[in-house]
Structure 1
């Protein structure tokens, strides 16, 4: 059993292969957190301490016992109104307009399998792979319930958490704050690892000590955002890639979020993950329920690499779905940087023909194929093929590309509308605009109100009418602005609109996945602006960043790797000088960096030299050789490209018989010193042959001393070693 309830001790113990999570119902009915860490047995309530602490109040139930205070006890679901003055996981405005929720234990159940969340993405598992604990807490004055859900995937060292608020009162309430995951640690010194950024420079890793007060990251943009990613790590100060304790929380949600971490007055640490508080006030009438998204949690006592591998395995095999979740993805060419809006059917076919000659497997038609869409200024919302521009029907174009031996893919941006569009002229109230105010434009577009079913249905039907015109095998789903001017003409409360918007997005995607199960969908939001676990449930790969510069990508993909598997990272070889940075880099280097993802091209093949085309053929052959290892292998970060002379990473097969080490030089000086790359994850004291040179290496020496990186002429050179265990 992975979940054990001890009736005598009133403890719930959740075991995974290597970890244990324990909580306890105390004598007053509060659900207290006891332990989360390396696998352990027995009751750990000895960790709780009770002292008379000034200005820390006592529940009335405690009578004259001044040592009992919710202001200092570790809790599973802390709420406002119990005398706990730390940042709460839940704030509810009650029917009588008071702000108080005193949740006490009522009941629980344990069952095999993984819970599912209606209308929301979630980790999935069958009855043999997971167990679920449901704990019902109730405010005995209002009758409002908080139903806590925990699922355990033992083989993955994963625990998921969600909460359902049930309005069992007789009147209207409002959920003002909700964090489905809380972790209270009574001791220890921790760092808060977060992933910040901006458009075209996403998920930069930041590590800062957790001190007194509250450190908070989040997104107010209606999406998970380029600026902060909805996944965090809490690590012991001394934790490294290979040693030390660390905890992860990844929000399976694509809207606004916040994560908070801080020490209290007694040096206890609280970590929260949940909804953004701003513009969130979800109304519930009597009898209604509100289901939160879930948070994926994991713990590693063996450092950050193992923690990342736990998350990678879970997301790749139990969050991503469909035909492509474990299949090597087709090598694609995207038309955007080759021609932007300036193309015709003939120019597209010429580009596709060159792609086919080079061994590329899929051609993707990006923005500009519909309506009057010749620039950013017009056309969004009018999803009708511009046959005049293509010189044929979409079906005919697809047929010609298929005849070349290429699959066909297409770009869409369903959530957006231009004011210069037939859709906006007919339905201006379908866009987010606050009455009496002029809207904030971004990329000359407004956001459609996906909280309204009729809006979602209309766009869904338009998109399906396009997809039904030919053999479409790939969709790039884009979202090119943040959400502002939030107002829905039909909502009973504006505080529910942003969450209902995300539910509308998920409804659209779920219908699309079910109707077209063989289409590969790649998520995108100006690159990595909605790179989150929620989207992976529908789109098993996400465009990592609009910035395709390989040197910037070293940092972007480094930060991404802490949480997300390489199999979901959209990564392409683009032109040099790069269109975003104007940096000049070797074609080999661009290919090496792109190989650490789903792999593809984004450039005008007709402008390449014969030498560059030969390099593409070599890269494609190399990708096919290593794709399975990259997609399913254990990922190791060998250097930090934010600070080191090079970016280096490694993929190791689960059986440890094969490893691919890749390195890109960043800093270059005269009379350059030699750097040694230490190889990880191989079997102890075992001989491995490097397949290019044929040289034999001892794995222990590779780990302890490393392999010297060659000193070559030129900037940004790429290096690679492929090690195979010697029989």
Structure 2
């Protein structure tokens, strides 16, 4: 059994692969958190709660000054009953009161994991893989029921959590706050790791000591955002890549979120995560339910690498779906940085012909193929072909690629609308807006109101029409605008604060419909690059354009930070021209190749302008990537040297059978009087012997792990090295 209920002590013990999570029903039906950490066989109340008479603490039981919700570690918390820390939920009744008191009523334990209505979530292929605990809490006075859902997996150190709220009363209620998970720790000996950034500078790693009070990551932009990722981890001060404890939280959601850490007056630490309560409200009518998105919680006793391995394996096998989940991803050429909006059919065919000669497998036509799209001032929403640029339509370009043995892909930005478009002229009310105010534009565009069913239906049918009439095997789904003047003409005034969440529900509905209708299309999500790189999107689209920044040196940090949560197979990584269009840097083509080969390899430059030397080098990159692709995309990824800590970066990949190893080393700037660098690989089978395919040298796996490789001194900036080993027994 994975979940054990001790009726004598009223404790729940959830057991994963190597983790235990324990809480208890205590006096008054409150849920008290007892333990989360390394797996234990049995729990015999070795750390019972301590009840102390604390000053300024309110007491729900008048006869007991030692019992206060302000001092008890809890599971799911409210405000107003004496706990002054971060509340997990808040409900407003029709009388204006926001006081509720949800307490334990019952529970049930069952095999498997239920799907979440209208939301992405981790899943199981068999009910034997996991067990779920559903704990029911009720407040009869308020007429509210909450079902807390916990799922624990046999083969992962993972617990997923979400909540279903139900109105069991006779009056409307308003959810003002509905977070998905809360965990109370009994100490504050932690550092906090988060991922922050901006457009073209995503997924930077921040590690800092937690302090008394609240520290928070969040987004109120309508998307999970490049500014802060919906993730946080508490780690011990001595935690490294391979040692120390990690408690991590990742939100499977693509909209507004919050992740909060509070250290209270007694050095207890509370973590809470869910939909951002800022500007949030959800009116719940009698008999109706509200499902919160899911939080994926992992525990590691062996550092950040083990945490990442849990997320990588879970997300590739039990979050990503569809036929492409286990298929090698194609090497592509995207025309964006080659042509931008300035292209015609002949120019595209020239690029396709050059790509075929180099061994590229997929041509992707980016922005500018529709409406009258000669710049970013017009035509978003008008999903019909610009016959001025493409007189014979998309079929002409797709057929040309197919005849040469290549596939054809297409860019869309479905969620946006230009004011200069037929769609806007016909349906000005279809954009997100507020009455009597001129709209604020971003990138010369507005956001379509996906909280409306008619807008969702239009997008589904217009995109489906393009996909069904052309041999398209890949879609790049872009989103380049956050929400302002948030409102919907289709919703009553009392429901206007529901728009951001309803938008995300509409987006998920659109994507679910399209990926189901077109199972042979590989969908890649994009939001000006990594602006919506989150677990919610991966449920529908198994890879993401990691950043609009294609500079290889910048990409070292971006891809390294992204790898904390997401495996390389989910990361789109392209080789672009020099000087780089984002930062102006000139980087060797070999280095650009090694960085891009560390994800899903692609090219984004004008192939028709390459020198013979560049063509030869790119042919070699493509040939090599095809040779190592399965190991890069389906193997294990290990970080070795961090670009956030110095001038060097390194990582390596191990095939599933541990018979192939691919390692990359990068040095940003040349330095005088440098020490000799030894690169120690990770994850190899110590009992195997491996041959270096470039030098024919043979080393034991244990030698490569513990002794390492001495790297040559190279007096150049922006250098990279690649090492390719195979098991000697299979060579």
TM-score range, shorter chain: over 0.9
Q: Deviations over 1:614-662 (max 9, x none)?
A: 1111111111121111122222111110221211111123443332211
| 1:131-142 pair list within 5 angstroms | 131-142=131-142
- Structure 2 Cα separation of the partners of residues 82 and 246 of structure 1: 32
- The residue that corresponds to 2:98 in the other structure is 99
- The residue that corresponds to 2:259 in the other structure is 259
- The residue that corresponds to 2:111 in the other structure is 112
- The residue that corresponds to 1:87 in the other structure is 86
- The residue that corresponds to 2:679 in the other structure is 677
- The residue that corresponds to 1:170 in the other structure is 170
Q: Does the residue aligned with 2:561 lie in a helix, a strand or coil?
A: helix
- The residue that corresponds to 1:703 in the other structure is 705
- The residue that corresponds to 1:345 in the other structure is 345
- Structure 2 Cα separation of the partners of residues 636 and 377 of structure 1: 43
Contact 1:387 1:394 (C-alpha < 8 Å) held by counterparts: no
- Structure 1 Cα separation of the partners of residues 346 and 337 of structure 2: 17
- The residue that corresponds to 2:159 in the other structure is 159
Q: Deviations over 1:29-82 (max 9, x none)?
A: 11111111001121346242111111111113xx42211111011111111122
Closer, same or farther in 2 for the Cα pair 1:628/1:102, shift >3 Å?
same
- Structure 2 Cα separation of the partners of residues 38 and 241 of structure 1: 17
| 1:641-680 pair list within 5 angstroms | 641-680=643-682
Of residues 378-387 and 668-677 in structure 1, the stretch that sits farther from structure 2 once superposed is 668-677
Q: Does 1:524 align with 2:526?
A: yes
CA shift for structure 1 position 6: 1.4
Closer, same or farther in 2 for the Cα pair 1:684/1:397, shift >3 Å?
closer
4+ residue runs over 6 A deviation: none
- Structure 2 Cα separation of the partners of residues 343 and 684 of structure 1: 53
- Structure 2 Cα separation of the partners of residues 425 and 335 of structure 1: 30
- Structure 2 Cα separation of the partners of residues 413 and 684 of structure 1: 48
Contact 1:413 1:477 (C-alpha < 8 Å) held by counterparts: yes
- The residue that corresponds to 1:554 in the other structure is 556
Contact 1:346 1:390 (C-alpha < 8 Å) held by counterparts: no
- The residue that corresponds to 1:540 in the other structure is 542
Of residues 545-554 and 265-274 in structure 1, the stretch that sits farther from structure 2 once superposed is 265-274
Q: TM-score, normalised by structure 1?
A: 0.98
Paired residues in the alignment total: 725
Q: Does the residue aligned with 1:638 lie in a helix, a strand or coil?
A: strand
- The residue that corresponds to 1:379 in the other structure is 379
- The residue that corresponds to 1:512 in the other structure is 514
Structure 2 unmatched ranges of 5 or more: none
Contact 1:188 1:236 (C-alpha < 8 Å) held by counterparts: no
- Structure 1 Cα separation of the partners of residues 289 and 89 of structure 2: 15
Q: Deviations over 1:117-165 (max 9, x none)?
A: 1111011102121111111111132120111011112202211111011
CA shift for structure 1 position 391: 2.2
1:590 to 576, 586, 592: 592
- The residue that corresponds to 1:633 in the other structure is 635
| 1:431-450 pair list within 5 angstroms | 431-450=431-450
CA shift for structure 1 position 707: 1.5
- Structure 2 Cα separation of the partners of residues 386 and 48 of structure 1: 69
Contact 2:669 2:716 (C-alpha < 8 Å) held by counterparts: no
Q: Does the residue aligned with 1:389 lie in a helix, a strand or coil?
A: coil
Q: Does the residue aligned with 2:432 lie in a helix, a strand or coil?
A: coil
CA shift for structure 1 position 703: 2.9
| 1:214-293 pair list within 5 angstroms | 214-293=214-293
Structure 1 unmatched ranges of 5 or more: none
- The residue that corresponds to 1:391 in the other structure is 391
- The residue that corresponds to 1:477 in the other structure is 477
Q: Deviations over 1:261-302 (max 9, x none)?
A: 121111111111111122211111111111011011110001
CA shift for structure 1 position 671: 4.2
Closer, same or farther in 2 for the Cα pair 1:390/1:132, shift >3 Å?
same
CA shift for structure 1 position 387: 2.0
Of residues 516-525 and 425-434 in structure 1, the stretch that sits farther from structure 2 once superposed is 425-434
- The residue that corresponds to 2:59 in the other structure is 58
- Structure 1 Cα separation of the partners of residues 707 and 255 of structure 2: 45
Q: TM-score, normalised by structure 2?
A: 0.97
- The residue that corresponds to 2:606 in the other structure is 604
Contact 1:35 1:44 (C-alpha < 8 Å) held by counterparts: no
Q: CA RMSD in A?
A: 1.3
Contact 1:81 1:100 (C-alpha < 8 Å) held by counterparts: yes
- Structure 2 Cα separation of the partners of residues 44 and 317 of structure 1: 36
Q: Does 1:616 align with 2:634?
A: no
- Structure 2 Cα separation of the partners of residues 330 and 93 of structure 1: 51
Q: Does the residue aligned with 2:599 lie in a helix, a strand or coil?
A: coil
- The residue that corresponds to 1:718 in the other structure is 720
